[in-house]
Structure 1
Amino acid sequence: MAQAPRDSAAAAAISVSTPASASAAAFPSPSPSFCTPSVPPSASTATSASLSCPNSFLSASSSTLSTAAQRLESISSHMASSVSSSAPASDASIFSAELVPQAPEDVLFGLMRSYRADTNPKKVDLGIGAYRDENAKPWVLPVVKKAEAILAADPELNHEYAPILGVPAFTSKAAELIIGSSSPALAEKRVSSVQTISGTGAVHMGALFLSKFYRGNRQVYISNPTWANHTQIFNNVGLPVLQYPYFDKATRGLDFDGLMKSLSEAPDRSIVLLHPCAHNPTGVDPSQDQWKQISELLKKKNHFPFFDCAYQGFASGDVARDAWAISYFIEQGFDMLIAQSFAKNFGLYGERAGCLHAVASAASLAADVNVATRVASQLAILQRSEISNPPLYGARIVAVVLNNEALYEEWKDNLRTMSGRIIAMRTALRSKLEELKTPGTWNHITDQIGMFSFTGLSPAQVLRIREESHIYMTNNGRISMAGLNTRNVEYVAQAIDKVVREVS
């Protein structure tokens, strides 16, 4: 039986996800994107370090800009001013309601709480973004159980700190998985990887990195709609968010023309957040030809792509197909960030295993052969002050599987099991609705891909179906296809049919 990869306590804090061999290929230099301190950050230099902004990814030549400390202070001052304008008298408690108002409950987790409290035996959970098996139960992947057994049997396994940038056996294989093991970006040492607290942590770390170093237009363009957490993550680090059109309500498909128009009108060198596969919440993905057009537009506008990939292998059952857009953008010579989650495709929702990958272009490498090492050094600084060291267990499970050929093939079989069942439920729901002659068209259910489907139900219809049929979905009509099974799909179809006929 294969042994678990070791996490050496002496492993280097700065790891670059690359093979040993490397060769550099030069391309025309991109427009300036990043800056870095020309001296190491410290308390004594925080107010005087000069920053450099040449035509490369986090390059090392010099020109003077405000320091990272000053920028963060500016963000803090801005946030403080929003409170102080209506602050009570100075003798008020810091925990007073005037200073710390009650925040609203998270909508999705509030929906989960309501579902758990519902005692109706016919209740159906179509809200939570987690895979369920045919019996509506959480499914621990068989390959994950095998990896856990390998870890449990390892007499040398300990609970020492992981390196700051994560478990090397995890981050290196994670990079190969999402970028492609044969990618020149890896061979040429252009990739820097940091282990994160799942996909949320990866997006946050990328946002934090951009807030500190990006010198283009600091507005982040996100799709409308997108994952609910995106806006808050970027706002929390002082990056404003704007939306580009994405979902066409009439066709329940991609508003490609609106997307292209919006991004063409965005200021040059804006940050653009993209979902490479299984778009959350719509389940609508661009075609490969549309991805090529998006890439061409972003290159023309010198926009910076930031991919958030939470469903690799979960959308189509094919890990390479689901990461095609990422590979294509790398081939086109972008500097870019990639957030990667193993929550869905390994079923490790609570273990919080993820990665952020910074991919420098060949042009950035030509400008500085140490680009990946420098980027990794800054990611390590950010990580140290955020979580210090990432958690081990989920990363070790993934590392065991990805470093063992037999387990890796079994994992891909497990992925096909999950994606295949979801595809079957899409077909079943559409068939039931069409058999019932439910008003409207329902081909979008099978046209969409991944865990979620945007049904087209209105908030009023969603509320009625929840109250009368005890079927739980988000207010925008998004349903998790994983919540359907052969025992409840007809019940759900009948409830949808009823509410569509009765509620406009």
Structure 2
Amino acid sequence: MLEKGENKEYLPIEGLAAFNKATAELLLGADNAALQEGRVATVQGLSGTGSLRLAAAFIQRYFPEAKALISSPTWGNHKNIFNDARVPWSEYRYYDPRTVGLDFDGMIADIKAAPDGSFVLLHGCAHNPTGIDPTPEQWEKIADVIQEKNHVPFFDVAYQGFASGSLDEDASSVRTFVARGMELLVAQSYSKNLGLYAERIGAINVVCSSPDAATRVKSQLKRLARPMYSNPPVHGARIVANVVGNPTLFNEWKEEMELMAGRIKNVRQKLFDSLSQKDKSGKDWSFILKQIGMFSFTGLNKAQSDNMTNKWHVYMTKDGRISLAGLSLSKCEYLADAIIDSFHNVS
């Protein structure tokens, strides 16, 4: 069935209305005040990448003096996106190699030092590539500093529901900022949590201070999208809208996300147990359990990562990131042997 005003061939520039409503409600919660007050501009984008790129174009055009702040490290395409949109960026400290954890003090210091009104790119959950997320208390402190500096939060939410198994828990960072009445941007992707990789389904949401501002922002996002790609794809958007709108399908989806998130947690636990039992050096491997999502930063350097590949035939990125989604329980002990050998025998 076509929606009122929908072309049978093309979607409107802003995308499928049912999808936009569903995705904003999944992100913020259907009873969120910003949604009820009409302060959220949502435009369907070409998955997470296209949504980020559309937002970057918006920043470049309407905030030409603004700078973006990106975590060190971050998903490799973030830098490409801002470069292509001609938005200047710098990095804020995030990963601490000494603890294989979050350099929270460095992060706060760098956000404080940035020019007022900067756009701070934040990973909503399951930070890629590290798997290291701030605690709820740390998110509150981050929000404090961003408000003090009049910065604009820009969230990338690529794994909602797929990290913890809970749609609400994985969106809690974004909701913390929205509850403070802050204006912010959020890019979403359904590639991982619904497996819609090839359909390129996502959205950019801009939470504004007023309904009038949201109307104006949406109009300008559409104006930018028109020469970029004109219209977003329809089939994946209908899948999202149908799954979310059907209680049976919605519950089945949530159960499957819980199952997949639970499987990755089990793999994390098995890998931690194997490392702890096999490594007699006393090294603390607990960071494996503290990280969340598909990826784990092992703390291995390039030479050690090369050893993993050349000697053990474990293929991973050169920064020490492994994908736990591709690891089975039966291979955890072998991986532990490879990590221990690489960590202790290769400098």
User: Residue 208 of structure 1 corresponds to which residue in structure 2?
Assistant: 57
* Corresponding residue number in structure 1 for 2:69: 221
Q: Which residue, out of 252, 260, 274, partners 1:410?
A: 252
Q: Distance in 1 between matches of 2:155 and 2:167?
A: 15
Q: Distance in 2 between matches of 1:408 and 1:299?
A: 36
Partner of 1:240: 88
8 Å Cα contact 2:101-2:132 kept in structure 1: yes
Query: Is 1:434 aligned to 2:276, yes or no?
Result: yes
Partner amino acid for 1:246?
Y
Measured after TM superposition, the shift of residue 7 of structure 1 is 3.9
- 2:3 maps to 8
Does 2:163 correspond to 1:168? no
Task: Indicate how the Cα distance of structure 1 residues 353 and 202 shifts in structure 2: closer, same or farther if over 3 A, else same.
Answer: same
Q: Output the TM-score relative to the length of structure 1.
A: 0.67
Cα distance in 2, alignment partners of residues 219 and 371 from structure 1: 22
Give identity over the alignment, percent: 47
The one-letter amino acid of 1:8's match is E
Match among 325, 337, 343 for residue 500 of structure 1 = 343
Q: What is the 5 A alignment of 1:278-427?
A: 278-361=126-209, 365=210, 369-427=211-269
Q: CA deviation at 1:314?
A: 1.1
Question: Structure 1: which 4+ aligned runs deviate by more than 6 Å?
Answer: none
| 1:461 is aligned to 2:304 | yes
| Whole-angstrom CA distance in 2 between matches of 1:159 and 1:423 | 43
**2: CA distance between counterparts of 1:486 and 1:358?**
41
**Aligned in 2, Cα 1:503/1:169: closer, same or farther, shift over 3 Å?**
same
Structure 2: distance between partners of 1:380 and 1:189: 17
Residue 301 of structure 1 deviates from its aligned partner by 0.5
Counterpart residue type for residue 323 of structure 2? S
Partner of 1:200, secondary structure, is helix
| 1:256-294 per-position Cα deviation (integer Å, ceiling 9, x unaligned) | 100111111111111100111100011111111111111
Instruction: Name the CA distance, whole Å, in 2 between partners of 1:482 and 1:159.
Output: 38
How big is the shift at 1:372?
1.7
Report if aligned partners of 2:100, 2:299 keep a CA contact under 8 Å in 1. Answer: yes
Q: Distance in 2 between matches of 1:8 and 1:311?
A: 29
Q: CA deviation at 1:483?
A: 1.1
Aligned residue identity for 1:421: R
Change (3 A) 1:438 1:341: farther
Secondary structure of 1:160's counterpart equals coil
Distance 1:7 1:224, change over 3 A: farther
Distance, in Å, in 1 between the alignment partners of 2:110 and 2:326 is 35
What 5-or-longer segments of structure 2 have no aligned partner? none
* 8 Å Cα contact 1:9/1:160 also seen in 2: no
Q: Which has the larger helix fraction?
A: 2
Aligned partner letter, 1:396: R
Question: Which position in structure 2 is the counterpart of 1:480?
Answer: 323
User: In 1, distance between residues paired with 2:199 and 2:280?
Assistant: 41
Q: Is the 8 A contact 2:2 2:8 kept in 1?
A: no
Query: 1:41-86 CA distances to partner (integer Å, 9 max, x unpaired)?
Result: xxxxxxxxxxxxxxxxxxxxxxxxxxxxxxxxxxxxxxxxxxxxxx
Q: What TM-score do you get using the length of structure 2 for normalisation?
A: 0.97
Q: The residue matched to 2:329 in structure 1 has which SS? A: coil
| 1:449-496 Cα distance to aligned partner (Å, 9 max, x none) | 111110001100111110111111000000111111022222111111
Q: CA deviation at 1:370?
A: 2.1
Distance, in Å, in 2 between the alignment partners of 1:262 and 1:320 is 29
Give 1:325 shift: 1.1
**8 A Cα contact 1:340 1:354, kept in partner:** yes
Superimposed CA distance per residue, residues 245-264 of structure 1 (whole angstroms, 9 cap, x where no aligned partner)? 00111111111100111111
2:144 is the counterpart of 1:269: no
How many equivalent residue pairs?
A: 346
- The aligned amino acid for 1:245 is R
Does residue 198 of structure 1 match 2:41?
Answer: no
Please tell me whether the aligned partners of residues 7 and 167 of structure 1 are also in contact (alpha carbons under 8 angstroms).
no
Contact 1:317–1:416 (CA<8 Å) still a contact in 2? yes
State the distance in 2 between where 1:350 and 1:334 align. 33
CA distance in 1, matches of 2:225, 2:41: 13
User: Cα 1:195–1:385, aligned 2, differ >3 Å: closer, same or farther?
Assistant: same
Q: Using the alignment, how far apart are the partners of 1:175 and 1:298 within structure 2?
A: 23
Quick one: distance in 2 between partners of 1:438 and 1:488?
20
Structure 1 unmatched ranges of 5 or more: 1-5, 12-157
